[in-house]
Each structure stands twice: as C-alpha cells, then as structure tokens.
Structure 1
Amino acid sequence: MKTLFLFLIFSILPSALLMARKGIVYLDTNSLSQPDSTRPAQPALLLTGDIELTKSFSVMRVQEGTFVQSTPWYLTGNLVLATRGGWTIPIQGMWSSPINGYGQAYNAIGVSPRYRNWLTLHGGYRNLEFSPFTLAGYTVRGAGFELNPGLLRVGLMVGRFSKAVEPSATDPDRPATFRRMGYCARIGVGTDRTYLDVILLNAADDASSILPDSTGYLTPAQNVVLGLSGRIRANKKLTVELDAAGSSYTSDTHAEPQPTAPVDRRSKYVNYLNGYRHLMPVNSSTSIRTALQASLNYRLKWADLRLRYTRVEPGYQSMGVNYLQTDIERVTVAPTVRLFKNRLQFRSSVGWQHDNLTAQKRTRTDRLIGSVSTSYTSDDNLTLDLSVSNYGLTQQAGYRPLNDTTRIAQNNRTLSGSVFKSWTGQGQLHTLNGSVMYQALQDLNPFTADNNHRQNWTYTVSYTRQNPATGLDLNFGYTYTLSQATAMSFLFHGPTVSIEKKLFTNKLRAFILGSYLKNNQILAGERQQGFTIDYTLTFDYQLTPVHRLSISGTTGINRGAQSYRQQQGIVQYTVSF
C-alpha cells in the first residue's frame, strides 16, 4: 500500500506539472461543460488538490527530567481529477513513518471515481454510510460501488474491517485484534428525496490471523446485521425518515452450542434461518438486539417542527459502526420559529429518555432535557444570542429496591448569552464579541444535597481590528472563569493577545499569539496559586503560487502545584494545484 501511494504521488505530480505547462491541465475547480463553437474547447483533464508533508516534535521539562517526543512525519494528499467525459476522481491518502505501522489504517489511500451522478466506484480505505445502524462511516480497506440508475439504488463494500495485530508484552496499551473481513450490501428503490433501502452487513474475525497462544481472552466474533432505511418527502413541507436494524452478534464463534436463553428468545428465528442458509451462527455467546430511529420534519416558511424517536436495545452492536449509545429510549420535540425575515429566531427542544430497556439493571435512570434559545440579527451587524437549558436526571427501581439515601436526582442548568458587533471605519474592520455563561448542578436528594453542588461562571470578551491595506490584524481578549463546589474553588483569568502581519506582497504571514492565565485554587482548605504562560510563533511563506512552507513553535510554562515547561514545533510543506 505504501509503494502504491508513492507511485501514484510521484507519477501524477510530474505529469500534472508537464501538462500544465503545455496548457492541457487547468488548475481550477470549475465544473466541466461540453465545448461549443463559440469558445475554445475545454481541457481533457482538470487537476486540483494539495499534497502536504508534516513533521512535529515535543519537549517536556519537569522536575523528574526532560522528555523528548518526536512524532511520525505524515504525507497527506487530496487530489481531484475531472475529465471532459463526466468522470470525477477524488484521491485521498495518508502515509506516516513506520513508527505507527502496527496500528489500524494510519497508512491509507482511497479513491472513489464518480461518473456523473449515477455510478461511484470505491477502492482502498473508504468510509461509507449506508445507515446509522449498519455501515456508518467505518473505515474499510477494500472495494465497492454505488449504482443509482433511475430509481434503482445498489451499493456494495467488501474488504478488511480491521487488520491483525499481535499482542505485545512490551506495549500493553496496544490492543490485539484479529483480521476482520466482511461486506455490506444495499439494494433499494427511489431517489434522494424518497427511497427505501434494505441493507445486509456480514463480518467475521479470522481466528487464524494471529498466533493461537497469544490470543489470551480474545475470542473471534461474527456479526450479521439486517437493516432498513427509508425517507419519504411528501412535499416541500413534510419529510419522514426511518432507520431500523436487527443485529445478531456472536462474541465467540468457538463457543459450544446451547439452547436459546429466555432473554434471547428471538434467537429461535435466527436458528430457523441458519438451518437453511447457514448465514448466522448461533451459540451460547450470541445476542440478538434491535435498533430503531424515526423522525418527522414539518417545515413552513416561518416555522419548523421536528419529532424524533430513538430506541436502541442494550448490547446492540454492529461491526460497521465505530460507536453507538445503547440501552436508550428517547423522544424529542424540537420546534423553531422565524420572524421578521429570519432576523429573529426562537428555537426549543424538549426530550425525555431512559435506560434499562430489558429490566436487567438494578436501577433505571430517567432524563428530562429541555432548552430554549433566541437570536436576533440587526441590519447594522449586531447579533444577540440567549439560551437556557435544563437537564434533569432521576432514578427508579429496577430489579431491586432503590435506597432513597443514594437515589440520584439532579438538575443541570445552563444560562448563556453572547453579543457580536462589527463595523468598518477608515478602511478597517472592527469586531467586538462578548459572552457569559452560568452553569449550576442542583442535587434534589435531601440526603446528599449538602455535599453535591457546583456552580460555574465564565466571562469572555474580545476585540479584533483588521486592516487589509497594511495587512495587520490585532486581537485582544480576556477570560474569567470561576468554579465552586463543596470544599473546593477554582479561579482562572487572564488576557490573550495575537498579532498577524502580512509582508512581501502578502507572501509571508507572521503570526504571534500570547496568553497569560492566573489561577487560584482552594482544595480541602489549602490555597494554591500559580500561572500559565503560552506563546506561539508561526511563519507561513508562499514560495510560489503552488508551494508553501509553514513553521510553527509553541512554548507553555506552568508554575504551581505541578510546574512544567513544554515546547512543541511543527514544520509543514504544502504543494497546491
């Protein structure tokens, strides 16, 4: 894969520059159109994008000594080729130095050629999304396609979901994994406005991909997910969306067969299908879980109404999803009102959710979530925002009685406001921005209220002056944060200043940022004081219209209970087309 990536970079780059000299390649992003007799023929190939090489380092000085960390260098590329015939070929890639070679997809290249709007091919490392409960942005190294001729919707992605990684006694933080292979297929009818898709994901671990005596507690797993995804847009006002899935997840394919447990009584249907098709292996480690998400959006000229229902059973898993919150049932209502040509907007949201859907926990947690916000924008560039939110949390008994002295009952309240104003004068642009936020945790349990309360205040103000004629930009800001809780208090406040100057006909950009943050802490009756100083210096030089070099360094000094000095540096070279 590394050789292929370098071959593409070093073969495409010289050819592109040569064609640019001959006038064959135009370095712009305009869409291609068919030539006519009134203007010159369009180039056969358009090339846009950039290639970037980055290297960084970090030095930490503490009382114990000095620690130097040199991170890998990264070569990243984003190129787009477009042909007169209707093909658009985006290529993305990343190549790092071998220090990260053992990881998952640090070195990756992917390409997705697209022909007009009905055919897309995929190769290399790709992140596709067929539905939120089946394949949703998970990185797969393989090949696939998406075909949408007319009302037919077909998609397929086949490949490796994760690489084999042997466990290491010298690096216990590196998790061992089997090589995981699989596919996800989609077939449906409709268009982007209205469609109905059926999705099947099947992935399994290769138990022979790592040494048997090195697996330890690691067991090979297999997952089969059947999903349904649809959208109905009746008109410009009403849109209904639905995503549902059922997942059969076997955490150990080598486990002994066992009669279906009562909690997984749905496994009998899977056993029935497996007897004929052998698609879903079922044993004592198999769990069958479902997930559902439905929403209704109603849009008027002056208002919107959004209703959403989500239910994900505990233990629901899909090998095509990186992370998913489970054991949750939630209902949300979110109306929006727009007045005076959208200058004044009111937004609100009310939601209720709870867990313990299968009554397997000791307690059930209920949440009531509500928020209201309003914003106003005037004709003279003045914007005001106000918002209030409240998150309530209570508990109920699950399969065991709940002790009132430990019952959780809390309210998390947040009030915030901000003002933004901009104006021009004497060829300069002025911007003033201020915000305030108050957060409070209120314990509603009288047995624990005295020892469980928190309050936070945060105030920020900043002023920016930009002068396009001289290329000088100035920014001044100040932050004040106070946090109080039982037997403790934290106060942080200080200024921030930044200066940016463009030199040599805007070819060189020099940027300096400095901040001073004073802290005052009280912990268990003991007062601790200190400060933190951070400053950053960046030089960004446009060598040619194509080549750019950036060098940045940051130093942080902390004095207090834990004193340290940290320095970081980044060098970046970019070639843009």
Structure 2
Amino acid sequence: MQKLIHLFTLLFWANLAIGQAPSNAGQRPAVGISGSLSVGGYFYEANGTVNRQAPYGYSINAHSTVNLKGLQIPFSVIFNEQGRRFEQPFNRFGLSPAWKWGKLHLGYRNLSFSPFILAGQTMYMAGLELTPGKLRFAALRGRMNDAVGPDDPNFRSARFKRNALVLKLGGGTEKTHFDFIFMKGKDDLSSLSHVPDSIQNATPAEENSLFGIQWRQPMFKGKLVYKLDAAASTFTENIRFDPIDFSESFPTAHRMRFIIRPNGSTHVSYAGETSLRWQSRGFGLSAVYRRVMPEYRAMGVNYLLTDLEAITLNPSFTLARGKVVLGGSLGLQRNNLDDHRFENTGRTIGSVDLNVNPAPAFGFFAQYANYTVRQQVFKDEFTNDSLLINQINHNVTFSPRFTVFKPNSTHTMLLTLNYQVLDDQNKTTEQFADNDLVNAFLNYIINEPATGWNIRAGTNYFRFKSDLFLNTRMGGSLGATKRFGKSGFSLSGTAAFSLTGQETLGEHKAGTNLTFNGRAEYAFSKKSSLSFQLFYLKNELAGSTFSEVRGQARYNYRF
C-alpha cells in the first residue's frame, strides 16, 4: 500500500505542477503527464445459490503517460481485491517508455511478435525495441510463469518458474518488413527446491525453442498485400531426461546446447499461415492458407488450434456507390495431417452476406451460412461407420432497420430474425443430434437530445428444439436514460422479464427470470465523475429459486 500512496502522490503533484506551469501559446510543455485514475468498491449478496464472488471488495486502476521532451513513458498500476481467502491483493506494474525510434519494456508486458511464437502471453520482463531507419531489432528477457507450490491459495497446479528469451532482427517498416524471430523458454528446476521431491518429479519441466519469419509486402500501391508467418518449434516435454549425444555425427553439436538440448521427449513441428489480399474500388478478394501440425506447441502463445489445414477465400463487392455491399466466404478444413488418427475430419464453411442501405431511414442485413462436417475412415482398424460425424448446419439471419427523423427526436426500430438447423446425415445419431433454433429480437428506441431522454423497449423470443429436448424463452425489456441538462447528473435503468420453459422426455418445467440494472452518475467536471450501479437478478425454475444483488460505487478522474 505504501507504493500505491507514493504513486498517487507523485501523480497528484506532477499534475498540479504542470497545471500551474506557464506555457506559450502554440507550444507543448516540455514535461507533461496524462492518464486516468479509477477507485471503486463493490458488495455482493446471493440467496439460494453458491456465492460467485466475495461479499465485498475493491479495485484501484491507475494509467498514466509521462512525456519528457518527446520521451513517452506509459505506466499502469492495478490493485484488485480477489476475495477474503486471499491475504494479499493482486497487483501488476508495467511501463513501456518510448523515445524516437527506441522503446523500453519493463515489468509486466503483453507483446505480440508472431501468431505462432509470441502472441497474447504476459511476461515480467526487461526488453528493448529499436527501429532506427529500416532496422527492426528487439530483445526481451523475463519470466513467463512464477513458481507455484502445492500450498497455492488460488488452488493452481504446481509448476516451475518459466524463463524466456525473445530476439527479433529484421528490416523495413510496419507495413513492409521481413523479420527473423527466435524465442526460447525453459522451466527452472531449482524454483521448487523447497517442496518435496515427489511433487517436483510429478511436475512437468519443459523447454521450447522456436525459429520463425514474418513477411509483409504490399504491391501495386497497396492494392495487393502479401503476408507470411511461419515458425518451427522444438519442444522438450521433460528436461530431466538425459540429452541425446550427437557428437559422433555432428562434432559441433555442443555449440547448439544453448538453443536446444534434445532428449527422448523432444519433438519438432511447424506452423504457418500465408495470405494474399487484393483491394480496389468496388472489389476485394483475399486468399488464406493455414497449416498447424498436430504436435506444434509454443510457450509464447496462450491458445492455438493444432492439427489443422485450412484454405479460405473471401470475396467482396461494393455497388451503388457504397449503398450495397455483397460479401462471402468459402473455406475448406481438414485434420489428421500426420496420418495418426483412425479417421479424417473435413469441414466446408461457406457464407454469403448482403448489406443494403439505400437511405438513412431504411436498411437491412441478410446472411446465409453453411457449415458441413464429414468424417471418413482412414485406417481399416476403425470400421464402425455409425460413430462417424456427417453433419450440415444451416444458419439464416435477416435484420432490417427503420428510422424516423423528427425535429426534436429520432425513432428507430430494429428487428433481428435468426434460424439455425443442424441436419445429421448419420442415421444412427440423427435422433440425438438433429435440432433447430429460432431467435427473434424487436427493439424500439426513442432519442430526444433536447430533453435528455432516451427510451428503449424490446421483446425477444428463443426456441431450441430436438427430438429429446425443448427449451423456450420469451420476454421483454424496458429501459430509460435521463440526462439533466448541463448539471452533469444522469440516471438510467433497465428492467427485463422473461418466461422460460424446458421439456425433457415428457417432463415439463416452467420458470421466470427477472433482472434490473440501475445507474446514477454525476460528473463534477469533464475530468472527474462519481457513479453508483445496482444489479438485481431473480431466477425461478420448477420450485428452485435464487437471487443475486450486486452494487458498485466508483470514482473516475482523468488528467
């Protein structure tokens, strides 16, 4: 908490000093700071169900950017009370100061260099990016995971500390470049030295080295753009095994130990995606090819769908001076790229969409999508055709809008209709898989800027039906927002009610659902505001009732 107090004190005095410092018209101050501070607390209460969060808590978010004669230093602090069972709040610090063609990364940062090497993974790091002229260089070193012991209060599985190194070297600009990317991640076996050997031996200890390239090349004045992302991965699932000795075949193999020390649990795989996109006035077309092998793994990517080969075409046409846009997509996918499965699964994905806006008062959107999945026997050992998937999914959407413009108000009506059908072509499983779904929404909105009123009303209908199950829901909602002139005060609220029904094997259950969301906000100025929010939920189904109440108060300040 002392660090937090010091930070807020620094931000306050810096903001005060900058606000009082004289400056010449048309000149930016040599020193500046901007950002936001948000402080809030909440309460929660549930009846008839398990509590989904703590009875009370708080959150403090501070984001700022310091500008020192062109040197920009973004900084963020987050404190979040996770619940009574945690003795310490969750906090993370990170900043990425930049000056001309250089940038530093310190603390917790989330960077993306390649979709197959480093994307979406938060690291506690120290890093540097340099882009002088056409040079593109980056070096990052840090920690991907902290060590987690068996007594973790968050009930996470035991794991070793994971360190990582990332290097990038290339040439070009953000739109046109060719980069080489290297990354190595390795678990630290000494990070759990305080826990019993039995737990250490049962905890995975892994190592991963990746090499990749990224290429971006526009042509014909940017109308044609070629992209390529490709990577090769060597992944060791257990670094405790003895390394393989390559000294007889490759005398210089010992020099590569820094990159990888292969053993019996090491496997090599690759992934890549390439695309070509053409965009001109009135017409666009893109073609994408993606291939990710089954055993491909990358420590720097949170989630990646593997064992996939996909080809996708996306044409688009713009007609009638932009009032009509016709687009579509056609894709083919398959798995079993290494022929290790008993069956092949193929997917065909197609869609056509039409967006028509002839006038401001009327327009509509229509779409048809088809998703087909088929499996075929690949090995003779697997001969039970009754278990193979052969399904077709049809999806139709139609959404018109109508708007009436009056001198002091605007009336808008939105209708959305959606129909989906799953048709199982397998006679053995069709009675369990065949289903259809209907969704309908109708909303009416009145907006009166002069009086500050915004009124909303809506109704909805949902039905899911199969041979064994029927689920229905219908209801409506009513909401309004009122802004009280220039006082900075506003009130808003929305109430919704629905009737639900479930029918399974002849047994019928009926229920109701009621929700309310209210909010009051007062803006002291353009920079600061105070808000209160209340949410109520009550659900009844076949004699079972539960309710929840959540409230929140929050102060926001921008500087």
- Offset from partner CA, 1:228-273 (integer Å, 9 cap, x none): 111111222111000000111111110244699xxxxxxx99x887
Q: Where do residues 49-198 of structure 1 align in structure 2 (5 Å cutoff)? A: 49-62=35-48, 69-70=54-55, 72-83=57-68, 85-97=69-81, 99=83, 106-116=90-100, 118-168=101-151, 173-198=155-180
Distance of 1:21 and 1:292 partners within structure 2: 55
Per the alignment, do residues 43 and 51 of structure 1 end up closer, same or farther by CA in structure 2, a change over 3 Å counting? Answer: same
Distance of 1:304 and 1:8 partners within structure 2: 50
Per the alignment, do residues 159 and 488 of structure 1 end up closer, same or farther by CA in structure 2, a change over 3 Å counting? Answer: same
> In the alignment, which residue of structure 1 is the partner of 2:400?
419
Greater Cα offset, 342-351 or 46-55: 46-55
Distance of 1:68 and 1:297 partners within structure 2: 47
Instruction: State percent identity of aligned pairs.
Output: 26
Greater Cα offset, 327-336 or 555-564: 555-564
Distance of 1:328 and 1:42 partners within structure 2: 53
Distance of 1:280 and 1:443 partners within structure 2: 48
> In the alignment, which residue of structure 1 is the partner of 2:494?
513
AA aligned opposite 1:496? S
What is the deviation of 1:22? 3.7
Distance of 2:303 and 2:50 partners within structure 1: 38
Distance of 2:435 and 2:370 partners within structure 1: 15
What is the deviation of 1:361? 1.7
> In the alignment, which residue of structure 1 is the partner of 2:12?
13
Greater Cα offset, 439-448 or 103-112: 103-112
Q: Where do residues 130-529 of structure 1 align in structure 2 (5 Å cutoff)? A: 130-168=113-151, 173-210=155-192, 211-213=194-196, 214-215=199-200, 217-235=202-220, 236-257=222-243, 274-278=253-257, 279-399=259-379, 400-503=381-484, 505-529=486-510
Secondary structure of the corresponding residue to residue 215 of structure 1: helix
Per the alignment, do residues 533 and 86 of structure 1 end up closer, same or farther by CA in structure 2, a change over 3 Å counting? Answer: same
Distance of 2:187 and 2:206 partners within structure 1: 6
Secondary structure of the corresponding residue to residue 301 of structure 2: coil
Distance of 1:229 and 1:67 partners within structure 2: 43
Per the alignment, do residues 307 and 104 of structure 1 end up closer, same or farther by CA in structure 2, a change over 3 Å counting? Answer: farther
Secondary structure of the corresponding residue to residue 190 of structure 2: coil
Q: CA RMSD in A?
A: 2.5
Aligned partners of 2:81 and 2:89 also within 8 Å: no
- Offset from partner CA, 1:257-290 (integer Å, 9 cap, x none): 4699xxxxxxx99x88743221201111111110
Aligned partners of 1:471 and 1:501 also within 8 Å: yes
Aligned partners of 1:471 and 1:506 also within 8 Å: no
What is the deviation of 1:543? 2.8
Secondary structure of the corresponding residue to residue 321 of structure 2: coil
Aligned partners of 1:363 and 1:402 also within 8 Å: no
AA aligned opposite 1:165? V
Aligned partners of 1:60 and 1:68 also within 8 Å: no
Unaligned runs of 5+ in 1: 25-34, 261-267
Aligned partners of 1:360 and 1:398 also within 8 Å: no
- Offset from partner CA, 1:74-101 (integer Å, 9 cap, x none): 2112222334x32222222212237599
AA aligned opposite 2:350? G
Aligned partners of 1:433 and 1:461 also within 8 Å: yes
Distance of 2:515 and 2:321 partners within structure 1: 44
What is the deviation of 1:155? 1.1
- Offset from partner CA, 1:327-374 (integer Å, 9 cap, x none): 101011111111112211111111111111111222221101111101
What is the deviation of 1:204? 0.8
Aligned partners of 1:334 and 1:347 also within 8 Å: yes
Distance of 1:543 and 1:218 partners within structure 2: 54
Aligned partners of 1:165 and 1:175 also within 8 Å: yes
Aligned partners of 1:396 and 1:402 also within 8 Å: no
Distance of 2:168 and 2:361 partners within structure 1: 48
What is the deviation of 1:109? 1.7
> In the alignment, which residue of structure 1 is the partner of 2:27?
41
Aligned partners of 2:18 and 2:31 also within 8 Å: no
> In the alignment, which residue of structure 2 is the partner of 1:530?
511
Greater Cα offset, 348-357 or 9-18: 9-18
Secondary structure of the corresponding residue to residue 10 of structure 2: helix
- Offset from partner CA, 1:132-176 (integer Å, 9 cap, x none): 1111121111111211111111012211111112123876x4222
Per the alignment, do residues 358 and 156 of structure 1 end up closer, same or farther by CA in structure 2, a change over 3 Å counting? Answer: same
Aligned partners of 2:80 and 2:89 also within 8 Å: no
- Offset from partner CA, 1:10-49 (integer Å, 9 cap, x none): 212222123213456xxxxxxxxxx8xxx55332233322
Number of aligned positions between the proteins: 551
Aligned partners of 2:432 and 2:467 also within 8 Å: yes
Distance of 1:303 and 1:120 partners within structure 2: 39
Per the alignment, do residues 178 and 533 of structure 1 end up closer, same or farther by CA in structure 2, a change over 3 Å counting? Answer: same
Aligned partners of 1:274 and 1:281 also within 8 Å: no
- Offset from partner CA, 1:357-403 (integer Å, 9 cap, x none): 11122222110111110101123242210000011001122343331
Greater Cα offset, 326-335 or 356-365: 356-365
Unaligned runs of 5+ in 2: none
- Offset from partner CA, 1:477-531 (integer Å, 9 cap, x none): 1110011011211110101111111126241111111000111211110111110
